[in-house]
Amino acid sequence: MKFKIALAQAPATENYLENLETARNYAHQAQQAGAQLLVFPEMFMSTLAADAKLGPTLAHAQPLDGNFVNGMRELADDLQLWIIFGMRQAPTSSKDQRVKNAVIVVDNEGQIQGTYYKTHLYDAFGVKESQTVAPGKHLFKPLATPFGRIGLFVCYELRFPEIARYQALHAADLLIIPAAWYRGALKERHWQTLLSARALENTVFVADCNLPTSDDCIGDSMVIDPLGVPIAQAGADSQLVVTEIDLARIKAVRRQLPSAKQRQPKLYD
């Protein structure tokens, strides 16, 4: 099965209305390019500084039935696109006023088909995401779509191979990774190495969508084939990347490299 995926390496601001308009522009471009699945970065609804305090973070959060999600649902329905995007979800419990780092999967009829809350938070390199974000409690179980089974995790979680392996073991064909991967020493090398490793070690496709350098991130969104080789890649600046994925490639690679069948789980405990 073949389909076209689009990665919107799009700039985002604190203003969700501006970001919704940006999403419309990129979605129209994706539709014109023949894409059926469109991915936006982590926290695309509203970007804030890495050291933002809880007050501003709460002020830029919305519920799942808020204006931003409803706008993205309408967009998906209007253009007949599946859309995946990141947002700050407002707290759902009075016991914990931290927001959730959420990723939403919307189908081409505007219906929410999946929601994932980032479980492994970015408490590293001088940043402490857990001060303002409550961790999710469950990994995302791959979702059956017209494009095969989609797995999902977020940015920093790329550094935990167990997450990608869990989804591969649950028959994921494509791992989607919305991200806001900050710039820094060796960060580009880490990004490229880890993405290729997650694809190669699980012999699946990987598609990541990062924020551009205008948002203090590295850009470099890409689609990687099951042998760990990028087949489409953005630069540092804002742009839309569109490429075709052929899921038959997975079986072809696994005939050459049957590592998934050669695992010995009893030895790993």
Q: Which residue has the tokens 């489409």?
A: 232
Secondary structure of residue 112 in the 3-state scheme: strand
Q: Residue 95 has what pLDDT?
A: 87
Q: Are 60 and 90 in contact (CB under 8 A)?
A: no
**Residue among 42, 129, 157, 209 flagged as catalytic:** 42
Question: Cα-Cα-Cα-Cα dihedral of 182, 242, 38, 155, to 10°?
Answer: -20
Q: Which residues is 222 bridged to in the sheet?
A: 208, 233
Q: Which residues is 38 bridged to in the sheet?
A: 6, 83
Q: Residue 51 has what pLDDT?
A: 66
**Residue among 100, 118, 129, 217 flagged as catalytic:** 118
Q: Which residues is 218 bridged to in the sheet?
A: none
> 66-86 pLDDT, tens per residue?
999 999 999 999 999 999 999
For the chain, domains (ranges, CATH) are 2-267 (3.60.110.10)
Catalytic residue flag (residue 118): yes
**Residue among 53, 100, 128, 155 flagged as catalytic:** 155
Indicate the pLDDT class of residue 48, thresholds 50, 70 and 90.
confident
Strands 174-178 and 205-209: parallel
Catalytic residue flag (residue 244): no
> 138-156 pLDDT, tens per residue?
999 999 999 999 999 999 9
Indicate the pTM of the whole model. Answer: 0.96
Q: Which residue has the tokens 């390496």?
A: 9
Q: Sign of the C-alpha dihedral, residues 140, 141, 143, 149?
A: positive
